[in-house]
Structure 1
Amino acid sequence: MGWNRWYSLKSYVKSSLWLVPFIALPLYVVAIRIAYLFKQWLIWIEPWPWGVAGSQRLLETIITMTLTFVVFTFGSLLVAIQIAGGQLTPRIIATTLLSDNAIRFTVGLFIFTLLFATGTLARLETDTDRAIVGIPVLLGFLSIAAFLYLIDYAARLLRPVSIVLRVSEEGRAVIEDVYPTMATEEADATATDPRPSARPDKVILYRGRPAIIVAINKNALLTLAEKTQSVVELVPRIGDFVASGEPLFRLYGSRFPEESVLKTMIAFGPERTLEQDATFAFRIIVDIAIKALSKAINDPTTAVLAIDQLQRLLCFVGKRNLTRETILNQSGELRVICRTPDWEDFVKLTFSEIRLYGAENFQIARRLRAVLEYGLQVLPDFRRPALEAELALLDRRLAQLYEFPEDLELAQTADSQGLGGSTPSTLRFLPGKPSVSQ
């Protein structure tokens, strides 16, 4: 199995809601045999308070109860996921909701309890086996507790603040993986186009169904390029859409890796994922913000919650070295080129659409200014030009929108709460004030 197929399988397993409940099937087959094999070592309450008829009724009740839990959980959860996806963004369904372990393992417990109670009931004979009947009874109590926990957990999980926080956490981990080193002014100043000046010696085109590049095996690409002493350039970026016939690789050198092997180093999918895509977390949170700002929903407070996490991510990525496009061998020779987003990409993605759709709202205008002024304070000096340009665009946009001077002054005041903070932002940018760059 090639790396791309293995990666796709792993991603499917991580985002599949049904897999853990399905594993409960073979687990039950093993568990009930072990239980009957070692039943003499199982100690329960004696005497057993129910006879054969009572034990049968108890097991039937557990079966009915767990079956109801399963039906209710899947039915209500799917409806809730669709509603949350419609209100926030559909991109949260696969990236956060379907891959939640608490939901999957709780449903797995329901299935296991249902099967164990059914198997015990089928084996119940004239004498009540206290040890074996006690196991599904205990599992039934655990299922009741797990069901009550799941209701509370799902209600908390589907809140906008929980969704944006989870996406922000995953985005931070991806940024740390893609950009492992801290930013320095020297590295930023020496950043150039990594593509060789010569024309490529070979171009490999993509052949297949239209898809999104979701991941790259960079280490394997480096190994292949090193073996052939060539330079491998991946033309699209992670998260880009590619159609059949479009350039996928540009190769430089006299010897090249095999085309079929190169293509197994790229994982494709129907939509972007958070695993290696550094900007996708920004994209999801921005989508949540601008949907909340739509006239149909008109929920600027949710947009402010999204901007809170955008500030966190933007300041985190602004302190990283964003020039990791080239991969060198141990001798310092260029071997692989994989383009990654730069600082301007992150800044425009964070502010442009929210400014366009939300500047007419006081909360959004004030919160965006607070983010920009905070970034000007805490980020290195060489990150300031892009932020200052966005601040100027915000001022020009506000000047177009607000006719009354009082409204314009209110909109141009930084406020970390959007509207209602007791005082303006205490981290407003002052020219000449040193920034915190560590």
Structure 2
Amino acid sequence: MRRPRPLSPLREHLRDTFWFTPAVGLVGAIVLAAVVLTLDNLVVEALQEDGEYGTVSSLIKIAEDAKSIITTVGSAMLTFIGVVFSISLVALQMASGQFSPRVVRLYVRSRITKATFAVFLATFLFALLVQASYESEANPRTVSTVPFISGITCVVLVLVSLVLFIAYVNSTIRLMRVSHVVDRITREAFRVLDRYEHGSGDAPDLPEAVAEAAHQGRAGVLRDVHIARLVRIARRNRAVFRLVPRIGDFVVPGTPVLTVHGGTTPSRRALRHTMTVGVERTYHQDPAFGLRQLSDIALRALSPAVNDPTTAVQCLDRITQFLAVIADRPLGALLHRDAKGEVRLVQELPEWTDLVDLGFSEIRGCVEGNPQVSRRMMAALDDLWWLADEERRVPLARHRALLVQAVERTVPEAADRAFALRPDRQGIG
């Protein structure tokens, strides 16, 4: 079994914030300014000790020429940041209204977005610090610092900012295109599946439960659990923990979240900070969240206000891709073991039937008047039928029968019914 990653929850929590990377950029700008200004000071001192006053004068002239650039950068960069990100937030709001409010998470987690914002702020702060280092006296014999290296560094930061700005605009435009949005959601969902690649599928026979641990703190969605910490606590108490709610469930204070099997019961203090509750679901440990978002986008596309069945077909493409990957994978329970290979934490995963229902049930209810969607769903069910074993074909047969009934109930003409139920991977071409 895969060993748990102790820093994984912290890393994912930082990815879900928008302040951390810009804050690191500001600190980096201060450190960089201190380093390059120190280098400038050392260079001037070395030249003055060698009597190279002519060289110092040349550096002063170059630094004075660069001062206008640095002043312009310092005054314009903050305004540029405000205008660019204001326009981008408007575009993002339009995208979230067209697809799903959950796509805002893609923007928040985007590395290029955070890097662009961090470099913009770092360039602004660096320009201010370099501008403050200029001395009024330009005597090559008495000047202490000539911001020559600092000026070059500031120009380099401006060039990097322009490159990142182009990449950022391209990334933002991609977030407004449904094909790229559903592709990004699918890749995030597969990243979660890779973490659960070694799930056993069947929960082991556990000793009798000796205690239950209730949720402490505020109510909210169970975002993730600190797997490594729970494994350590269970090992110290010679027990096995079973996580009662699934990742993504809404929990309220006082409800059981862990059952303790065998060994001794850990204290409430030991279990504090082992679970994270938030206001919305995250990708980190939630294998069904990707399907939830794809289904939401398809439902919104099929609403009478939008009426975009092609987008629903694109979502069905990715839902089929996701289900095809897990068609032969073990599901049901994920076992986390300690260093000796003993099971210490049992985490329930969605079953195959749960994921099939999540992917098809709500979309199937909106096929009325959309033969493009019903044809694509029939093709998806046929493809999954050949990939799944006999036991996992049961929910697929159920959805196929319900789809046929829905079309027969809502389409009066026999020819139209036959057309709507003909499998087609492109819907209607």
> TM-score, with normalisation over the residues of structure 2?
0.84
Task: Indicate yes or no: 2:275 matched with 1:266.
Answer: yes
Matched, 1:295 2:304: yes
Q: State the secondary structure of the residue aligned to 2:271.
A: helix
1:78 aligns with 89
Q: Distance in 2 between matches of 1:35 and 1:220?
A: 42
Q: Which residue of 2 aligns with 1:232?
A: 241
Aligned-residue offset at 1:47: 6.8
User: Counterpart of 1:251 in 2: which secondary structure?
Assistant: strand
Deviation for aligned residue 1:76: 1.8
Name the CA shift for 1:258/1:197 in 2 (closer, same or farther; >3 Å).
closer
Per-residue deviation, residues 150-206 of structure 1 (Å, max 9, x unmatched): 22221123322111111111111212222426xxxxx87xx5x767696x4333322
Whether 2:181 is the aligned partner of 1:163: answer yes
C-alpha distance in structure 2 between counterparts of 1:268 and 1:82, whole Å: 26
Tell me which residue corresponds to 1:383: 392
Give 3-state SS (helix, strand or coil) of 1:91's partner: helix
Amino acid corresponding to residue 31 of structure 1 in structure 2:
L
Residue 361 of structure 1, CA deviation: 0.5
Residue equivalent to 2:152: 134
Any conservation in 1 of the 2:67–2:151 contact (CA below 8 Å)?
A: no
- Give the distance between the partners of 2:120 and 2:355, measured in 1 at CA: 44
Return the alpha-carbon distance in structure 1 between the equivalents of residues 240 and 226 of structure 2.
Answer: 15
Bigger drift between 338-347 and 377-386 goes to 377-386
Aligned position for 1:204: 213
From 81, 104, 116, the equivalent of 2:126 is 116
Q: Which runs of 5+ in 1 are unaligned?
A: 182-186, 421-438
Shift of residue 330 of structure 1?
Answer: 9.1
Amino acid at match of 2:220: A
Alpha carbons 1:24, 1:108 under 8 Å: kept: yes
Query: Does 1:308 pair with 2:304?
Result: no
8 Å contact kept, 2:298–2:363: yes
Relative distance call for 1:202 and 1:297 in structure 2 (3 A) is same
Q: State the SS of the aligned residue for 1:232.
A: strand
Kindly report which structure 2 residues correspond to 1:216-365, keeping only aligned pairs within 5 A, or say none: 216-253=225-262, 255-325=264-334, 336-365=345-374
> For residue 104 of structure 1, what is the aligned residue in structure 2?
114
Match of 2:76 in 1: 65
**Counterpart in the other structure of 1:148:** 166
| Normalised TM-score (structure 1) | 0.82
SS of equivalent residue, structure 1 residue 260: coil
SS in 2 for 1:262: coil
Match of 2:99 among 67, 73, 88: 88
More deviation, 167-176/15-24? 15-24
Say if 1:123 and 1:226 are closer, same or farther in 2 by CA, change over 3 A.
Answer: closer
Amino acid corresponding to residue 34 of structure 2 in structure 1: R
2:408 aligned to 399, 402, 405, which one?
399
* Counterpart code for 1:59: I
RMSD (Å), alpha carbons: 3.1
Percent identity of equivalent pairs: 28
Q: Unaligned 5+ residue runs, structure 2?
A: 45-54, 139-145
What is the CA-CA distance between 1:331 and the residue it aligns to? Answer: 9.3
